[in-house]
Amino acid sequence: MSNENESNSLGRMCGWESGPDPSLHSHFLSQCLQLLIEKAVFGGTDRSTKVVDWVDPEDLKEKLDLALEDKGVTQADLLRRLNDVVKYSVKTGHPYFINQLFSSIDVYGLAGQWVTDALNPSVYTYEVAPVFTLMEIEVLKVMAKFVGYDQHDGLFSPGGSMSNMYGMLLARYYRFPQVKKRGVSGLGRLVAFSSIDAHYSIAKAAMTMGLGADNVVLVNVDDEGRMDVNHLKKCIAKSRQEGGIPFMVSATEGTTVLGAYDPIMAIADVCQAEGLWLHCDAAWGGGALISNKHKHKLTGIHRADSITWNPHKMLASPQQCSVFLTKHTGLLKDCNSASASYLFQKDKFYDTVYDTGDKHLQCGRRADVLKFWTMWKAKGTEGLEKHIDQLFDMAHLFTETIRKREGFRLLMEPQCTNVCFWYEPPSLRSERSNPKYNMLLNAVAPKIKERMVKSGSMMVTYQPLRSNPNFFRLVLQNSAVNKDDIKYFVDQIEELGKDL
Amino acid sequence: MSNENESNSLGRMCGWESGPDPSLHSHFLSQCLQLLIEKAVFGGTDRSTKVVDWVDPEDLKEKLDLALEDKGVTQADLLRRLNDVVKYSVKTGHPYFINQLFSSIDVYGLAGQWVTDALNPSVYTYEVAPVFTLMEIEVLKVMAKFVGYDQHDGLFSPGGSMSNMYGMLLARYYRFPQVKKRGVSGLGRLVAFSSIDAHYSIAKAAMTMGLGADNVVLVNVDDEGRMDVNHLKKCIAKSRQEGGIPFMVSATEGTTVLGAYDPIMAIADVCQAEGLWLHCDAAWGGGALISNKHKHKLTGIHRADSITWNPHKMLASPQQCSVFLTKHTGLLKDCNSASASYLFQKDKFYDTVYDTGDKHLQCGRRADVLKFWTMWKAKGTEGLEKHIDQLFDMAHLFTETIRKREGFRLLMEPQCTNVCFWYEPPSLRSERSNPKYNMLLNAVAPKIKERMVKSGSMMVTYQPLRSNPNFFRLVLQNSAVNKDDIKYFVDQIEELGKDL
């Protein structure tokens, strides 16, 4: 086919029929993929391009042709719309996107994701998802080995919030198996414990599960943001005195903002003495388990009854890839099964132990495993370890850089690869004794953030925490970030904030 | 670059670094995409290819090189592994895959999914996902219009099971807002109602929410599989007498097995009289709303307080795309919010009404909207309607075909695009008065299924239902399925079963 004809062919209407047809769709697909590879994959991660082409919500509505109408469009029109989607989306794979606990485009992970999409599986029975079923078993096995479990069970869930809820569900069911049929009515007031810096999903899960957010007791943290184990003991005792029924503790390994690692050994001792389930939310910090240099941060995690560990965070797998592990084999199925006879027939011709879907809360479920398996296969464990070590090295470099730079101030020594700090503009440096100083400092980060987003130069988030005014949290999980980038981040924040 | 060099370049080790680099990854990506387009997209939907290349679990483990090892592999090795993933995966987009409530490869939907993956967004704040945030608002608005809602709120969730749980959570919170903080302890025994043919996710949600599976009362169905409204009334009265606290009814619009549409108007009347929340699980059957010819099946759905509607089912969007809608604006946020200050800062420089994440149970969340938006934009509403009408036409054709064919017997007249039927081999036709007839018939479908899977000729599921022995359920949601395919299905089942 000549180029001219190919180009003309995009003028055809998309048509309503399902079903790929090379004569109708080949050229469209190749054009679409070219757009993606040029503008999203390579263009969107090129340091010379913007992280975001910022447009206010009301204006963006005008720029994007979002309306869904009676008539369809031509393939060429559709490509233009998809081009706009790419243009105005935040480039979360860009090395200057250090805004969230996910980032990067890993080419091998992306390839795995694209393969998954082309196969469009749902992972509940071996019959429908043979490869993905076996692959999940393999990846869970290897991850459980890094945790140090002798035996394990596990699953992939749509995000860390869901994985944390699986942990709380198992904790409740393990202690009160009657909840499955009869519910919690009449059981009394069940109480969970977590730190004040734990992720909000623990509270959301308590709301969902009918426990109530007030029945998640938030334990104090020490100066480094780690759960205060003495306070935990006091909270448990107080809860019992008040008629509560403590049933679990959720320790956080890599808190969302500060990156603190709760002391697992000491918390496990408390749980053992008190008869409580120990869940470790290592969604963010779990990646360190892959590194011989940094795994000590999670010493004792094999004692946890259950664990959340998100490869889409520190290990930089594409979104979403969240793993839930437990040492209690069979409990997930006992807790969550409904034995639907239309899906989990027992008269199948193969071993239905491979029909793993009934331990999940979801029925249909995306295969989140392949993208991560592809990365691991590509790089080997050694490659993943180098990735993790690079992140910690760059976090260390950033820390040392701002320690020496006037106007920057660390909130605390980082334990993980998120680094929290303030930038103090020159105008504020003489105001430290001003009673309004904190209020003034509080306004700095939002203003710098606005400037960086509007210029598209980088993205880093900020937040207050307890009595601390707004501070920045730089997050490293993209191992493409190098020494020059670290210098760029510091210079850029200074440049954007020095006149404030 | 010459072809020879390109080919050699795949011999390089994948390397550990994140971050796409054209000189390292361009050729790998293009080879990977060529594999996908040839073997998964076009090859995997070609009628001359197998639906599945069946291998037993233990043997498949041997064939796939799943092990994750210390060392990485070359790009060429990785491509071989991905080729195996494609080869041994079930081709769920194949016209002969009529096994589940999802199927098809829609090229435009797939393109949208690939764009999503290349951008790797998480949809919780406008800041990080500007395009996807606005697009979700648009698609929810248009879907709410088809429902007939005057006002609406909604979200995308990872599957119908989760969407149904959102409905139950809102129902509970609407009646007992104190559950958010204090839980259900002390509230009494809350009771939900659904039919015996409702999806198991209602029971799973009740388990998760601490209500207990026993507190989902399963209402009888009529001969057509629709909820018996008189029995519903009796069940509600009985529950109250027994000290239960009825709070919601979940009607199913398109049941999983039979495709029955529960009578919404009559159920809504009961809910109104009894003061109960009405949730409609239209995950499967909701697609009919797009068709002027078939939307009458859901008459009254605007009266539902909340609705589950999965575009990845009848509308053939790629997995997963599940929409939850409610007429109660603001309630999702009131029910589920935790107001995390690190993510939902209120001192941002744009209107934070666009930061929609706090109404979700998930924190990080995939953008499931673009794939469906892309399909709708491509085809227009008229295209989606033609798709739906084609499915119903083919379901009708299949029904009429087997009605006339000896050995086939309909379980009941289909209401939706799933058709349930038995195939009775010649050897059984003289055994109808044999007391063991049902037992013999029960063994037929599994045996035919085994043969079709092992030959890869097609995939259709079977299941028992109440006293009915195993029967087939053909599911149509791929509008590429045509008249010839319908004939093929009938002939194939006969061919595989005639000697049994």
pLDDT in tens, A181-201: 999 988 999 999 999 999 999
- Statement: residue B174 has pLDDT above 90: yes
Residues of B in contact with A108 (CB under 8 A): 14, 78
pLDDT surpassing 90 at residue B13:
yes
Buried b (16+ CB within 10 A) or exposed e, A116-149: bbbbbbbbbbbbbbbbbbbbbbbbbebbbebbbb
Of B119, B341, B363, the CB nearest to A464: B341
Interchain proximity B29–A41, CB inside 8 Å: yes
Is the pLDDT at B500 greater than 80? The verdict is yes
The sign one gets for the Cα dihedral B33, B39, B40, B45 is: positive
Q: CA–CA separation, B139 vs B131, rounded Å?
A: 12
What is the gyration radius of the CA atoms in chain A, in angstroms? 25
Strand B153-157 and strand B216-219: the pairing is unpaired
Q: What is the dihedral of CA B491, B492, B493, B499, to 10 degrees?
A: 90
Is it the case that residue B499 has pLDDT exceeding 60?
Answer: yes
Instruction: Give B354-419 as a DSSP string.
Output: G-GGGGSS-SS----HHHHHHHHHHHHHHHHHHHHHHHHHHHHHHHHHHHHSTTEEESS--SSSEE
Cβ atoms A45, A105 nearer than 8 A: yes
Q: Exposed, middle or buried by CB within 10 Å (0-12, 13-18, 19+), for B5?
A: exposed
Distances (CA, A) of B263 to A444, B267, B325: 58, 6, 19
Taking contacts as CB-CB distances below 8 angstroms, the residues of chain B near A113 are 117
For residue A163, CA distances in Å to A102, A317, A475, B209, B288 come to 17, 17, 22, 15, 34
CB pairs under 8 A between A and B: 560
**What is the ipTM for the molecules in this complex?**
0.97
The pLDDT tens digits for B319-358 are 999 999 999 999 999 999 998 888 888 889 999 899 999 9
Query: Can you give the pLDDT at residue A153?
Result: 98
Query: Is B105–A118 a contact, with Cβ atoms under 8 angstroms apart?
Result: yes
Where on the phi/psi map is residue B295: left (φ > 0), alpha (ψ -120 to 50), or beta? alpha
The amino acid at B113: Q
B343 vs A contacts (CB less than 8 Å)? 463
Interface test with A, best of B18, B339, B447, B468 (most A CBs within 10 A): B18
Which residue, among B320, B116, B180, B57, has the nearest Cα to A362 in the 3D structure?
A: B320
Name the residue among A28, A209, A345 with its Cβ closest to that of B208. Answer: A209
Q: Is the dihedral of CA A440, A442, A443, A449 positive or negative?
A: positive
The segments of chain A whose pLDDT lies below 70 read: 1-8
- Using an 8 Å CB-CB cutoff, list chain B residues near A188: 185
Comparing alpha-carbon positions, the chain A residue that sits nearest to B39 is A118
User: Which chain A residue has the Cα nearest residue B205?
Assistant: A361
- The answer to whether residues A446 and A437 touch, using CB atoms and an 8 Å cutoff, is no
Residues of B with Cβ-Cβ distance to A118 under 8 angstroms: 36, 40-41, 44, 86, 105, 110
CA B381: distance to chain centroid? Answer: 20
Q: What is the pLDDT of residues B286-328, one digit of tens each?
A: 999 999 999 999 999 999 999 999 999 999 999 999 999 999 9
For tokens 């009941």, name the residue.
Answer: B412
Sort out which chain A residues have CB atoms less than 8 A from B204's CB and list them. 336, 338, 361
Domains, chain B, with CATH or none = 3-91 (3.90.1150.170), 122-367 (3.40.640.10), 377-497 (3.90.1150.170)
pTM tops 0.95, yes or no: yes
Cβ–Cβ < 8 Å for A157, B161: no
Mean of the per-residue pLDDT values of chain B: 96
List, in sequence order, the alpha helices (H) in B318-368.
331-336
What are the DSSP calls for A242-298, one per residue?
TTEEEEEEEEEBS-TTT--B--HHHHHHHHHHHT-EEEEE-TTGGGGGG-TTTGGGG
Which of B442, B202, B203, B55 lies closest to A354, judged by CA?
Answer: B55
